Chains A and B, each alone.
Chain A
């Protein structure tokens, strides 16, 4: 479970890095930078959890490194709206994933995992905020929004599935 979260935050980091690489000098860059910093903070927290609990990181980290950066850069090349659309799609996937984890943990034992639940809820709220920010900034106005969103979300689901096992 922690492995997937760690991989997810790592991927999100790389996506924002890709977006910044392309859109770094535009108007939208402070906003992306701010979202990126929050993701960095999430990743730091997950690094700690992984080290503390001796969890094995996913073998596909280099893959997520490249894929995330490519996705971020590619979507940013479609302009600011493209970047925002990518953010919306990814954040929606991640929020859904966190929600299902929260549900699972609640089912197993809320007291035992209370700290972890708190953490995941907090991160989920951050991700929802990013999602809403993306929507505010004209994510939907990019041509092919629905298609792009569907593809990115399918990719995210596959990544989550694979990282759980590998």
Chain B
């Protein structure tokens, strides 16, 4: 239980360079896709090759200042919002260079007290789910953005949605792989009482984003249950991953598969129970009316 809570808090801080910075730059009228693009523009960096040059951090610190410095880069990049999906990857090289100086500036600011490393992953659009994301990741703060096709809202979790959730969580956790050795320490930093509001906010933003782009448009209590379920899945899988030593974390992905299956089963079972309950109630009503007829109570005198 303690481990679960720890895990719950652990993932939270890391998400929100973008979400922290985005608050200031977006107007409420922006559509959600535009918001996704905003974030992509904010946090997009060069491609994979850059990750080779990143420096592993020897120590961690609370990164409160990261929010402010990232918002300056946010303002610079917020004009790039209207680009179509394909342009991100194509232009990632050039934009990467623009960003590099900002990142270096940030690096100088932050390495005064702490060391951080930046790695960027550009994932190609997946054909089956039609989404792509980019992230700016650093230990202490991580953001995830999913820019996806909007699916219809559903009450049960369809196979496509389940796959999307699985892929989203897997992608997000794969970003931890370069730092997996020091990740437990990062998690413990996230649990510091000083950091907990931020980490909670980032976790909830991430989970909300994932569900939104998976197509969830619910406006009732399902909103809460779905996000709670995904939070649980994410945190437990993260904990498993930290202790996993199998090649390419196969066991972690298997664990994730099973958890997603569990949640899907739960949702389907709940639906079935509801349907059964309704049928039972109708049966009872029918029986009551029959009884009333038999005893003559229904007759009007």
Contacts and interface: CB of A to CB of B under 8 A. Distances in A.
Contacts of A53: 28
Contact of B221 (A47, A51, A54, A61): A61
B255 interface: no
The range of chain B's interface size is 10 to 19
B153 interface: yes
Interface stretch (B77-85, B212-220, B231-239): B212-220
Nearest to B35: A54
B219 A51 contact: yes
B219 A47 contact: yes
A6 B224 contact: no
A112 B30 CA distance: 12
B129 interface: no
Interface in B1-54: 28-29, 32
A56 B223 contact: yes
B143 interface: no
A74 interface: no
Given A6-B219, A51-B153, A51-B217, A59 B224 contact: yes
Contacts, number: 24
B208 interface: yes
Nearest to B211: A54
The range of chain A's interface size is 10 to 19
B204 to A, nearest CB: 9
B230 to A, nearest CB: 15
B168 to A, nearest CB: 17
A51 B215 CA distance: 10
Interface string A1-18: 000001000000000000
A62 B153 CA distance: 20
Contacts of B218: 57
A50 interface: yes
Contacts of A59: 221, 224
B219 A50 contact: yes
Nearest to A112: B29
Given A51-B153, A53-B28, A61 B217 contact: no
Given A51-B153, A54-B208, A54-B212, A62 B221 contact: yes
A115 to B, nearest CB: 10
24 contacts: A6-B219, A46-B219, A47-B219, A50-B219, A51-B153, A51-B217, A51-B219, A52-B32, A53-B28, A54-B32, A54-B208, A54-B212, A56-B223, A57-B218, A57-B219, A57-B220, A57-B221, A57-B223, A59-B221, A59-B224, A61-B220, A61-B221, A62-B221, A112-B29
Interface of A: 6, 46-47, 50-54, 56-57, 59, 61-62, 112
Interface of B: 28-29, 32, 153, 208, 212, 217-221, 223-224
